[in-house]
A and B are shown apart, each in its own frame.
Chain A
Amino acid sequence: MIDRYANLDSPLHSLDPRWKLLSLFILILVCASVNSPPAVFFAAGAAVIIIILSRVPVRFVFHTLKAPFILLIVMIFFLVITSGGRPLFGLAFITVYIDGLRMAAIICIKALSIMLIFIALFGTSRLNIIMKALSYFGFPRILTGLLLSTYRYIFLSFEDLEKLFVAARLRGLTLRKGIGNTGTTVNILATLLVRSYEQSERTYVAMYLRGFSGEFRTLEEFKAKPIDHAKGSALLIVSALVLFLEYFLRLKR
């Protein structure tokens, strides 16, 4: 769960959630938009410092990055052999291009920076607080409510799915049999869908019985102190510096 370490104490944890959401979201957008190596490396450095400041355990960070990193590796592989441009070396029918490597490195660093900032954003506040901050900025409440419910119940659905597959395996389902088992797999997924629907109905009743009227209320009250303004502004300055490096160098060229 992404907000597992939301109760730690760090400069990021204590930052007003609205400032955190605004400044880190802008930094994510800036990271995604820059392409020049100095700007990308500067943003990556900032992301690393931010994650260190967040005090989220390194093991958790690596664990969270594992799945996207595998996707990145696949993407890099295809990029370096298909980008064209100056060839670096060739192996049989595969040619690795310098431009492809350069592009892959930039994309890789940008993606990792964005993910680190993402972990710092969602890992240092409970999700319902981030959602409340999103609502503060005008994000529709129905969507924040849906996101929260999805986040809470997706783990249950995965558990259910696992149990259904175990039950099917114990009665002879083997994934190696391929197409023959497609029907069973579809049946399992359909069962999961029906169960999830029923679960959502029961949860709605539970919420209604406790007075839910479309808004997730919390005891958390947002109060931005001068230190929050300072920290938030510092993060915005980081974004500005990244943009400056990107456009200053472009103009110099």
Chain B
Amino acid sequence: MSEEPILQVKNLSFSYPEKKGVLKNINLEVERGERIAVIGPNGSGKTTLFLLICGVLKPHSGKITAMGEKVEHNRFNPRISYLFQSPDDQLFSSTIFDDVAFGPLNMGLSRREVERRVQDALEKTGCKALAERIPHHLSGGEKRMAAIASILSMNPEIILFDEPTSNLDSRNRRKVINTLNSLSQTILASSHDLEFLLETCEKVILLDEGEIVKTGSIRAIMGEENLMQSHHLEKPHSLIHSLHIPHSHG
């Protein structure tokens, strides 16, 4: 008997007051442990989809089920976490330790458990040395890793990553990739950094104008140059087998 999907989205539609049809009749199923990339041009509805999945926004129609339970609007659900595009939105406490402990403390865990989870999360993300630092004083890469630690400490089952490599240099980008690849959770990641998605995800959902255009193997879909171009995306360089470099004639 096959296991029930960890996340099910059925006939989901959503509009903002100032923008109609942001998401139109979205259907998707995610199996436990899957890593799914969500790609699409700006304004295609990626962030809105994530905010609906974690219950921040209320669907106009349709249903979202996670871990067998309906996702309720405005109800704290530590089993689903969302990483913001900007770590400054996520790090609001006076120290990194406090920030990483914020979620577990609100979950009502014991002091010992909170401390254990914080130490674990800091270790997994390589942020142990930053524990007593003030978020404002950290570099962009450090902030990003600390923001990841702040959601890992809640031990979520589904993690939604919104542009996790934006504004990062290659060293910090690599750190994020390694951290994501070391996680066992179900992951949905949206990014314009397609090479990053190729390294971290197996499947892809291509969204455009609020609709799912195509889903399937990340290499197969990103490798379709015409499909990618028709949705204002580019085929990643690593999937282009022969690069034509013009010779200089001197």
Interface size of A by Cβ–Cβ distance < 8 Å?
A: 31
Given A4-B134, A7-B132, A152-B136, A126 and B82 contact (CB-CB distance below 8 Å): no
A105 adjacent to chain B (CB < 8 Å)? no
CB atoms of B103 and A202 under 8 A apart: no
State in angstroms the CA–CA spacing of A18 and B226 once bound together.
66
B105 adjacent to chain A (CB < 8 Å)? yes
CB atoms of A219 and B103 under 8 A apart: no
Closest to B89 in A: A202
CB atoms of B92 and A207 under 8 A apart: yes
Given A3-B94, A128-B94, A217-B105, A208 and B74 contact (CB-CB distance below 8 Å): yes
State in angstroms the CA–CA spacing of A207 and B56 once bound together.
11
Given A155-B136, A218-B98, A210 and B103 contact (CB-CB distance below 8 Å): yes
Q: What's the least CB distance linking B155 to chain A, in Å? A: 12
State in angstroms the CA–CA spacing of A216 and B93 once bound together.
9
State in angstroms the CA–CA spacing of A127 and B94 once bound together.
7
A199 adjacent to chain B (CB < 8 Å)? yes
Closest to A149 in B: B92
A139 adjacent to chain B (CB < 8 Å)? no
**Which residues of B65-107 have CB atoms within 8 Å of chain A's CB atoms?**
74, 76, 78, 81-82, 84, 86, 88-90, 92-95, 98, 101-103, 105-107
Residue from A3, A208, A210, A219 in contact with B154 in the complex, judged by beta carbons closer than 8 Å: A210
**Which residues of A190-217 have CB atoms within 8 Å of chain B's CB atoms?**
199, 202-203, 205-213, 216-217
Q: What's the least CB distance linking A162 to chain B, in Å? A: 14
CB atoms of A126 and B92 under 8 A apart: no
State in angstroms the CA–CA spacing of A126 and B131 once bound together.
14
Closest to B93 in A: A128
Interface size of B by Cβ–Cβ distance < 8 Å?
A: 34
Closest to B99 in A: A210
B54 adjacent to chain A (CB < 8 Å)? yes
Q: What's the least CB distance linking B114 to chain A, in Å? A: 6
Residue from A149, A199, A209 in contact with B54 in the complex, judged by beta carbons closer than 8 Å: A209
A-contact bits for B21-62, CB 8 A (1 contact / 0 none): 000000000000000000000000000000100101000000
Among A199, A209, A217, A221, find the residue whose CB has the most chain B CB atoms closer than 10 A. A209
B209 adjacent to chain A (CB < 8 Å)? no
State in angstroms the CA–CA spacing of A155 and B136 once bound together.
8
B164 adjacent to chain A (CB < 8 Å)? no
CB atoms of B56 and A203 under 8 A apart: no
B142 adjacent to chain A (CB < 8 Å)? no
Using Cβ atoms and an 8 Å threshold, which residues of chain A touch B92? 149, 152-153, 203, 206-207
Using Cβ atoms and an 8 Å threshold, which residues of chain B touch A152? 92-94, 135-136
Q: What's the least CB distance linking B55 to chain A, in Å? A: 8
CB atoms of B115 and A210 under 8 A apart: no
State in angstroms the CA–CA spacing of A219 and B110 once bound together.
10
B150 adjacent to chain A (CB < 8 Å)? yes
CB atoms of B56 and A208 under 8 A apart: yes
Residue from A7, A153, A199, A208 in contact with B76 in the complex, judged by beta carbons closer than 8 Å: A208
Ordered by A's residue number, 25 sampled pairs between the chains whose C-beta atoms are within 8 Å are A1-B134, A4-B134, A126-B94, A128-B93, A152-B94, A152-B135, A202-B84, A202-B89, A205-B89, A206-B90, A206-B92, A207-B92, A208-B56, A209-B81, A210-B76, A210-B106, A210-B154, A211-B76, A212-B102, A213-B76, A213-B106, A217-B102, A217-B105, A218-B98, A218-B105
Closest 9 CB pairs of A and B: A211-B106, A210-B103, A202-B89, A217-B105, A211-B76, A206-B90, A128-B94, A155-B136, A126-B94
